[in-house]
Chain A
């Protein structure tokens, strides 16, 4: 009797549907963790967070202008992007370096899916930057001195840059099998970013780079910036998608869907690139012309106490800070100046573009004081100097031309009420010294201060305020007269006049 051996019939095929994407996400999660735990990334991330805290707690940034703060968040993520790019690149090439490609070939996850996983592993890093950028901006926006409006498009550039760099790392890994290729290409890229295009943002080539941060001396009202920020975001999104899909193509994912998406993302990139190709206007535009030449049509005037303060609409919240400085200076003045009605006018010259360093001509009308768009830090004593020179000389033009003994009165009025007058004195002087001759900065034109004047002012600032204030008020007419000599001023204010030559800055 023979027995037929029957093998039991097994159900062929998998018992559940294949889920190739689950493996992709698992790999992406793993690679993201590898990136997160990498020493270079960690160190740069810590450095970046320290930089944010340091940047935001600086004294200069007590009065942030939000349309500049948003652009200020863009440059530092490039640093993180660099680490992300090199690490993603290393991760892509790891299986080749360790000679494990053969093992992966037997898996169900195709190489192009692995590429997608590597691309996705850069997303958490981009999200981390997004959180950091949001914190940096919100922190600035919550400060009591914040003015202006931020733009979400400008804020998106930092995270998108990191994503773009990460994706580029994956593409380089698929195109070049050497581990040295990515660092070298990165150096070439950074070199090209610095030199191939003119540094200004009014050129279409410079807008092809991820970060175009244009900074000048003056902050503009947000409606005068005219940066193609939204187009640039579209361009960056399109470019990141395009590079990611090219990496997928390069690793063998040649399906119709991929090809169609490549075409779509290329179209998106081109639309963004064409949209931003105008760049930031370099010179004047009608809106900039209006704000520079006839600002009184745009400004809003607010009364604080005796004086009136005219600011661009976004700055009206800052008039109270200006008023505090004006009151402080005026309280020390005597005669009619102590009760004079001043008009503080905010001015800027936007006709030469965002990156220009413009000098405003001093106002010739009596009682007008110029204030610029920046505030906080050194700008406060500089404004105080302008207020004091108008109180002493009558108008700003005359104030910047003063070189006789009245400089002493101007400087004491401006700085006498400061909490730390000596450091304020060094801050308003070019060269940061408190002895010798120097130029004194003001919102408009600087004026010069002789060595003798500096010595007397420094001596006065070291004396108790009430002591000097009484003398200044009592002898106001004589102190503010152009005829009074330096020796006489020193005598009136009870300071030793040791300077043999009665040198004032007019002689120099």
Chain B
């Protein structure tokens, strides 16, 4: 146990250095900018603008988090004695406080009069973020890619817009607070969060047996 702690401590600086800090900072900045839109608007407070600016902010933050597991040196670090779950957990632990801080600031940036229920929106944001992380973890487990962030961000955006455009009314995820289905919709968000978290937990473990990979690099130069 002590060995693991010591190793974790030794890992902290290199993991901190290898975080995609610029992407995360850019995402946080744009997210806060989006959350500030209702405050910048003149005229009477519009709860709809507050809701959608927070949703857009959550999506942008999740897009940033999709890059969290990008590690150009992944094939080298796979040889270190600390297992992948610890390394991933370290990354998440280093970023989580900042993400929470950004999200709280975003919530507070929206004026009270046009702020949707904070708990429900936080649930949506958390589900989106965990979904992005789960997809990145799965992509790392299943392929040999070192930087899944770009593909995952495309995938996340496409899924989000598809869900908004095509989900049938009984299954919709994006409702307004005055909708009678607000609570049942958030049960679905909770379910999504649980499924994504389980998927992420399942995907961060290093595969026990080396599976025969397909072609080493499907992406050309």
Binding site for B on A (CB under 8 A): 34, 39-40, 43-44, 47, 51, 75-76, 78-79, 82-83, 86-87, 90, 94-95, 97-98, 100, 103, 178-181, 183-184, 186-188, 190-191, 194-195
Contact of B157 among A47, A86, A181 (CB under 8 A): A86
| Residues of chain B with a CB closer than 8 A to A195's CB | 37, 49, 52-53
Taking A180-B26, A187-B59, A187-B157 as contacts, is the C-beta distance between A44 and B162 under 8 angstroms?
A: yes
Task: List A contacts of B165 (CB < 8 A).
Answer: 75-76, 79
Among B56, B63, B155, point to the contact of A180 (Cβ < 8 A): B63
Q: How many residues of B contact A (CB 8 A)?
A: 33
Assembled-state Cα–Cα distance A179/B67 (Å): 10
Q: Within the complex, which residue of A79, A179, A186 is in contact with B150, where a contact is CB–CB below 8 Å? A: A179
> With A180-B64, A190-B161 as given contacts, are A90 and B166 in contact (CB-CB < 8 Å)?
no
- Once bound together, how far apart are the Cα atoms of A87 and B165, in whole Å? 20
Shortest 10 CB-CB contacts between residues of A and residues of B:
A86-B154, A183-B153, A191-B56, A179-B150, A180-B23, A100-B221, A183-B63, A40-B154, A184-B30, A40-B158
Contact A47 B166 (CB under 8 A): yes
**Is B211's CB within 8 Å of the partner chain A?**
no
Contacts of A186 in B (CB 8 A): 157
Minimum CB–CB distance from B56 to chain A (whole Å) comes to 5
B124 to A: closest C-beta gap in Å: 15
Interfacial chain A residues near B157, Cβ < 8 Å: 82, 86, 183, 186-187
B34 at the interface (CB under 8 A from A): yes
Q: Is B116's CB within 8 Å of the partner chain A?
A: no
* Complex: A75 Cα to B165 Cα, angstroms: 9
What is the count of residue pairs linking A and B with beta-carbon distances less than 8 angstroms?
90
Q: B43 contacts the other chain (Cβ, under 8 Å)?
A: no
Q: Mark B137-167, 1 if CB is under 8 A from A, else 0.
A: 0000000000101110111111001100110
- Contact between chains at A87 and B221 (CB < 8 Å): no
Q: Which B residues contact A (CB, under 8 angstroms)?
A: 22-23, 26-27, 30, 34, 37, 49, 52-53, 56, 59-60, 63-64, 67, 147, 149-151, 153-158, 161-162, 165-166, 219-221
Partner of B27, one of A76, A97, A103, A180: A180
Residues of B within 8 A of A180 (CB): 23, 26-27, 63-64, 67, 149, 153
- Which residues of the partner chain A approach B23 to less than 8 Å between Cβ atoms? 178, 180
Chain B residues closer than 8 Å to A181, beta-carbon distance = 26
A184 touching B26, Cβ below 8 Å:
yes
Distance to closest chain B CB from A321 (angstroms): 28
Chain B nearest CB, measured from A35 CB (Å) = 11
Q: A76 contacts which chain B residues (CB < 8 A)?
A: 165
B162 near A179: Cβ-Cβ < 8 Å: no
